[in-house]
A and B are shown apart, each in its own frame.
Chain A
């Protein structure tokens, strides 16, 4: 038996309001295609370009706890800021982030990454240097590749020393589109 949409949504919203969820997620439509976004009590925990939730949900359950449920309402704030960003109305995000479970090094690199301003790029080596180890560009590259909250933590602004885009967790095409949106590439 299929559960009527209205009843299904009603349960999801009650569940979100009950405070019983470890994480709430939704699939958000964007310029770059569907994005899976997830929030916990601590803040935005995940943005993924892979809208097939299966794997992401398992990872979320490991991070936050097993009570993971799709609840569109819980993502309203995130959706609004992402919409504004893609419409060019927003150049930075005011979202709380949940960065639990990351290593100290990763947190340091992501902290420095967050300071790279809208519309600007920086090289892996520069970011490594600012994170305290100029020779750690490869490690910095790994951190970018595993960035749990791309777009909001702007790993798309980190490029190779020759100016080439190098790589992106969501694919180079998405990286290029983000940089064009921000006016960083002509």
Chain B
């Protein structure tokens, strides 16, 4: 397994996309601090990664968490953990969160990113290095699997 590239290479490759994600979620002003925080968190963990796989989804996940933390600090109702209305047939994420640990990795990631982090399917596809359609399918089969377990 290839080891991680020098941090400079990793940073240069993903900085633009991370900033775009953060600006969309936090607005231009707050995105700057979150950008810095994202790459500092990545830096802190970088020498323990030990492999070069999924670096993109890894850093986008960190950025998403940083954005959630920023919302929380600001005392805002986080739309990352939405009160998903039951009426449209989607489960409330809070009710399912404890179960997602048992899902297959891809489905778990898709479910958590969709319902936990409220990412769109194109963002999830980007984070998982897959297609929008595959992300949608993974999320929906994850949810189906969870439903079967609940009922």
Contact = CB atoms under 8 A, between A and B. Distances in A.
Interface in B35-50: 35-36, 39-40, 43-44, 46-47
A15 B46 CA distance: 13
Contact of B16 (A1, A11, A22, A67): A1
Interface string B58-89: 00000000000000000000000000000000
Contacts of B101: none
B5 interface: yes
A18 B47 contact: no
Contact of B11 (A25, A53, A69): A69
Contacts, number: 65
Contacts of A15: 39-40, 43
A46 interface: no
Interface in A51-86: 53-54, 57-58, 60-61, 65-70
A37 B33 CA distance: 29
Contacts of A66: 3-7, 46-47
A186 interface: no
Contact of B6 (A1, A7, A11, A68): A68
B4 A20 contact: no
Size bracket of the B interface: 20 to 34
B13 to A, nearest CB: 12
A8 interface: yes
Interface in A1-28: 1-3, 7-8, 10-11, 14-15, 18, 20-22, 25
Size bracket of the A interface: 20 to 34
Contacts of B20: 1
A7 B32 contact: yes
B49 to A, nearest CB: 8
B47 A57 contact: no
B39 A58 contact: no
Contact of A67 (B7, B19, B23, B32): B7
Nearest to B38: A11
A70 B23 CA distance: 24
B8 A68 contact: yes
Interface of B: 3-9, 11, 15-17, 19-20, 23, 32, 35-36, 39-40, 43-44, 46-47
For the complex of A and B, list the 4 residue pairs with the smallest distance between their C-beta atoms, beginning with the closest. A57-B6, A68-B6, A1-B16, A1-B20
Given A1-B16, A3-B35, A14-B36, 14 more contacts: A1-B19, A1-B20, A2-B16, A3-B16, A3-B19, A8-B15, A10-B32, A25-B8, A53-B8, A58-B5, A60-B6, A66-B47, A68-B7, A69-B8
